Structure 1
Amino acid sequence: MMEKLKRKRAFITGAEQGIGFHTAKSLIEAGCDVYVHYFSGREGPEELVALATSRGQRAAFGYANLTDVEETNKCAQDAAAFLGGIDVLINNVGGIIARKWLGEIDQDFWKTVIDVNMTTMLNVTQAALPHLKAATEGASIVNLASLAGRSGGHSGSLAYSTTKGAVLTWTRSLAAELGEYGIRVNAVAPGLILGTRFHNIHTTKESSDETVKGIPLGRAGTAEDVARTITFLASEYDGFISGATIDINGGIYRM
Structure 2
Amino acid sequence: MGSLTGKKAFITGAEQGIGKAVAEQLIDAGCDVYIHYFMGEEGPKELVKLAESKGQKASYGYADLTDAESANECIANAAEFLGGMDILINNVGGIIARKWLGEITPEFWKTVIDVNMTTMLNVTQSALPFLKEASNGASIVNLASLAGRSGGHSGSLVYSTTKGAVLTFTRSLAAELGEFGIRVNAVAPGLILGTRFHDQHTTKESADATVAGIPVGRAGTPDDVAKTIIFLASEYDGFVSGATIDVNGGVYRM
Please indicate the TM-score interval, normalised by the length of the shorter structure. Answer: over 0.9
Match of 1:74 in 2: 73
Match of 1:4 in 2: 3
Matches within 5 A, 1:11-30: 11-30=10-29
Number of residue pairs the alignment of both structures matches: 254
Match of 2:123 in 1: 124
- Secondary structure of 1:24's counterpart equals helix
Match of 1:217 in 2: 216
Cα distance in 2 between the residues matched to 1:232 and 1:49: 22
Matches within 5 A, 1:45-124: 45-124=44-123
Matches within 5 A, 1:107-186: 107-186=106-185
For residues 86-142 of structure 1, give each alpha carbon's deviation from its aligned partner in whole angstroms, at most 9, with x where no partner exists. 000000000000000000000000000000000000000000000000001000000
Cα distance in 2 between the residues matched to 1:51 and 1:195: 20
How far 1:4 sits from its partner (Å)?
1.1
- Secondary structure of 1:5's counterpart equals coil
Cα distance in 2 between the residues matched to 1:152 and 1:212: 18
Cα distance in 2 between the residues matched to 1:99 and 1:58: 39
Cα RMSD after superposing both structures? 0.6
Cα distance in 1 between the residues matched to 2:69 and 2:181: 27
For residues 140-188 of structure 1, give each alpha carbon's deviation from its aligned partner in whole angstroms, at most 9, with x where no partner exists. 0000000000000000000000000000000000000000000000000
Cα distance in 1 between the residues matched to 2:124 and 2:203: 33
Match of 2:187 in 1: 188
Q: Which runs of 5+ in 2 are unaligned?
A: none
Cα distance in 1 between the residues matched to 2:128 and 2:106: 31
Cα distance in 1 between the residues matched to 2:72 and 2:167: 24
For residues 27-64 of structure 1, give each alpha carbon's deviation from its aligned partner in whole angstroms, at most 9, with x where no partner exists. 00000000000000000000000000000000000000
- Secondary structure of 1:96's counterpart equals coil
Cα distance in 1 between the residues matched to 2:242 and 2:27: 25
Cα distance in 1 between the residues matched to 2:187 and 2:68: 25
Cα distance in 1 between the residues matched to 2:93 and 2:110: 13
How far 1:85 sits from its partner (Å)?
0.3
Matches within 5 A, 1:206-245: 206-245=205-244
Cα distance in 1 between the residues matched to 2:39 and 2:207: 25
Residues 1:40 and 2:45 aligned together:
no
Cα distance in 1 between the residues matched to 2:25 and 2:154: 33
Cα distance in 2 between the residues matched to 1:89 and 1:75: 13
Normalising by structure 2, what TM-score? 0.99
Query: Identity across aligned pairs (percent)?
Result: 78
- Secondary structure of 1:66's counterpart equals coil
For residues 213-248 of structure 1, give each alpha carbon's deviation from its aligned partner in whole angstroms, at most 9, with x where no partner exists. 000000000000000000000001000000000000
Match of 2:200 in 1: 201
Q: Which runs of 5+ in 1 are unaligned?
A: none
1:229 maps to a residue whose letter is T
2:175 maps to a residue whose letter is A
Cα distance in 1 between the residues matched to 2:154 and 2:140: 30
Normalising by structure 1, what TM-score? 0.99
Cα distance in 1 between the residues matched to 2:207 and 2:252: 15
